Amino acid sequence: MKLLIGDKNYSSWSMRPWVLLKHFGIPFEEVCVELGEPGSKAAILAHSPSGKVPYLAAGDGLSVWDSLAIAETLAERFPQHALWPRDAVARGVARSISAEMHSGFGELRTNMWMNIRASFPGQGATPGTLADIARIEEIWSGCLAQYGGPFLFGEFSIADAMYAPVVMRFNTWKPALSDTAAAYARRVTELPAVRAWIEDAQREPHVIPAYDTCA
């Protein structure tokens, strides 16, 4: 399989399937396109019809784009791994909160973008962003209480991968978090697959100036 991604420092959508593949030990080839450059769109379109990352060439002619679609495809192709919770009720909740992450939290995305190498403590905390953070904390605390941790549904799953870029944002922008949310964010940060992504991001030389400053 081949996974097309953007810069690890900036591309939150790329992070999700990459971390899943790494965590579950599923072999793949990584192809990275630097984002925000004049030739970026053409380079992505050479692989992905959406012109966006991530994109998975899964073999046997199967091509999938969009993070959540890729995650679902991986769950189908590798049923030996519990990418979704095995329990049907828990799986329904996991799918719901993953879809909520996929389609929501626009204020957080706009005002606290992903830049792993940066540090913007105390900034970006608009009322809408704080409301998004409160909802995320509600999701995290509810799942951790119901399913016992250490991750949202016990073992690491697609749901955790969907929220991993949020953890990266929290590490950069450092909003005030509850003890439960902060502890969960630390566990996600220290997961070996996530740590590998962070270390790669820190070594990347490419810079997108618009995302490296915060007015």
Name the segment(s) of the chain with CATH classification 1.20.1050.10. Answer: 88-197
pLDDT recorded at residue 215: 66
pLDDT recorded at residue 59: 84
Cβ count near 164 (within 10 Å)? 24
Q: Please state which CATH number belongs to domain 88-197.
A: 1.20.1050.10
Q: Is 176 helix (H, G, I), strand (E, B) or coil?
A: coil
pLDDT recorded at residue 149: 97
Using a cut of 0.75, tell me whether the model's pTM lies above it.
yes
pLDDT recorded at residue 85: 98
Q: How far is it, in rounded angstroms, from Cα 53 to Cα 183?
A: 30
Q: Is 119 helix (H, G, I), strand (E, B) or coil?
A: coil
Alpha carbon distances (Å) from 45 to 33, 55, 68: 11, 10, 19
Q: Tokens representing 189?
A: 């940060």
Crossing angle (nearest 10°) for helices 67-77 and 12-23:
10
Name the segment(s) of the chain with CATH classification 3.40.30.10. Answer: 2-81
Q: Which residues of the chain have pLDDT under 70?
A: 215
Q: How far is it, in rounded angstroms, from Cα 34 to Cα 208?
A: 9
Q: What mean pLDDT, rounded, does the chain reach? A: 97
Instruction: Give me the amino acid identity at 213.
Output: T
Tens digits of residue pLDDT in 14-31: 999 999 999 999 999 999
Strands (DSSP E) contained in 109-149 are: none
Please name the helix (run of DSSP H) or strand (run of DSSP E) that holds residue 29, with its range, or none: strand 29-32
Backbone phi, psi, residue 151, to 5°: -105, 180
Q: How far is it, in rounded angstroms, from Cα 24 to Cα 141?
A: 25
Q: Please state which CATH number belongs to domain 2-81.
A: 3.40.30.10
Q: How far is it, in rounded angstroms, from Cα 162 to Cα 100?
A: 10
Burial class (CB in 10 A: 0-12, 13-18, 19+), 34: middle
Tens digits of residue pLDDT in 37-47: 999 999 999 99
Instruction: Give me the amino acid identity at 2.
Output: K
